[in-house]
Chains A and B, each alone.
Chain A
Amino acid sequence: DAGVTQSPTHLIKTRGQQVTLRCSPKSGHDTVSWYQQALGQGPQFIFQYYEEEERQRGNFPDRFSGHQFPNYSSELNVNALLLGDSALYLCASSSQGGAFFGQGTRLTVV
Chain B
Amino acid sequence: KQEVTQIPAALSVPEGENLVLNCSFTDSAIYNLQWFRQDPGKGLTSLLLIQSSQREQTSGRLNASLDKSSGRSTLYIAASQPGDSATYLCAATTDSWGKLQFGAGTQVVVTP
User: Which residues of A are in contact with B by a Cβ distance under 8 Å?
Assistant: 4, 6, 31, 33, 35, 40-45, 48, 50, 55-56, 88, 90, 92, 94, 97-104, 106
Contact = CB atoms under 8 A, between A and B. Distances in A.
A71 B44 CA distance: 23
A45 B97 contact: no
B86 interface: no
B112 interface: no
Interface of B: 4, 32, 34, 36, 41-46, 49, 89, 91, 93, 95, 97-105
A32 B55 CA distance: 28
A94 B44 CA distance: 13
A33 B93 CA distance: 13
Contacts of A88: 41
Contacts of A100: 46
Contacts of A35: 100, 102
19 contacts: A33-B99, A33-B100, A35-B102, A42-B91, A42-B104, A43-B44, A45-B100, A45-B101, A50-B97, A55-B97, A88-B41, A90-B43, A92-B100, A98-B32, A98-B49, A99-B46, A99-B98, A101-B43, A104-B42
A55 B91 CA distance: 20
Contacts of B41: 88, 106
A45 B98 CA distance: 11
B99 A48 contact: yes
Given A42-B104, A97-B49, A98-B34, A90 B98 contact: no
Contacts of B42: 103-104
A103 B41 CA distance: 9
Contacts of B89: 42-43
